[in-house]
Amino acid sequence: MLQKFGFTQYESQVFEALTASNEPLDATTIVKYSQVPKSKVYEVIQRLADKGLILSSSTNRKKLYTALPLETTIQKLTAEFEANVEELKNKEYSIQQVDDRVWTIKNEISIATLGKELIQKAERSIYVSGWSNEIEPLAPLLEEKQRQGVRVEILSIGELEDRNFDLHTLLPDEGHEALEKYQLVIADEQEVLFSGVEHGYWQGLQTAANPLVKFFTEFFYHDVALTEITKKHEKTLMEDERIRNILLKLRY
């Protein structure tokens, strides 16, 4: 009977046995009349109790069960059905669009504008790395976002005026081979803009693809870690020619 209302066969059998009985039944008697296996009956009884369809009582060390009156059960199921219909009518359905495309962009001014827009719409965190002269124009906007409660962390290649940011500074050695101009902006760990100079012109890519955003976020902290380690142990590291040669080949 209850199967028509989305209940399992065993739930329906137990409820029917209890409804047919004029007296409360214990689990053993329920097994006898419902034909539900003994190994399953307590689980089924508990599910029906959780759904509010049966009552239980302990008497003389024995637990007894009885079904909710049939009229009350009908009213309960009707009310639940009507509530579900109303919820279905009022529910707003939408498909969340995930843009995992990678967009390319050229032109230094266009890239700078896109970077500012990305920073402006960030709500939780902003990670920026690049050369100090490229980051400096962004400093007022970054300060404003920090005042708004957005976490701002910066890795600067070259000195940057102290503005109370979480700032990591790498002072490049003239021997660094891979320190080319670049800029990385990550907003809310959800969107990234990475740009650099190639053949004398700025080119970049922008994406919200999760694997790439995760990669560039790890890339940012990889650079931060190398910067801090090198700064703290610079003398020791640079005295080791092998390690020095490796460090000078890193882009940071």
Distance CA 133, CA 156 (A): 9
CATH code (residue 176): 3.30.870.10
pTM above 0.85, yes or no: no
Residues 112 and 59 reside in one and the same domain: no
CATH code (residue 83): 1.10.10.10
Residues 197 and 236 reside in one and the same domain: yes
130: closest CA among 113, 114, 115? 115
6: closest CA among 38, 53, 42? 53
Domain boundary among 90, 119, 150: 90
DSSP 177-215: SS---EEEEEETTTEEEEEEEETTEEEEEEE--HHHHHH
Question: Given this model, what pLDDT does residue 99 score?
Answer: 75
Give the length of the chain.
252
Q: How many domains does the chain have?
A: 2
Residues 110 and 198 reside in one and the same domain: yes
Residues 64 and 112 reside in one and the same domain: no
Domain boundary among 48, 64, 90: 90
Per run of 10 residues, the mean pLDDT along the chain (length 252 residues) is: 80 90 90 91 91 86 87 88 85 72 90 93 94 90 93 89 80 60 92 90 92 93 86 74 68 50
Range of the domain at 239: 102-249
197 DSSP β-pair partners: 202
Question: Given this model, what pLDDT does residue 252 score?
Answer: 47
Give the model confidence (pLDDT) of 139-185 as tens digits. Answer: 999 999 999 999 999 998 888 877 777 888 887 765 554 567 889 99
Question: Given this model, what pLDDT does residue 198 score?
Answer: 83
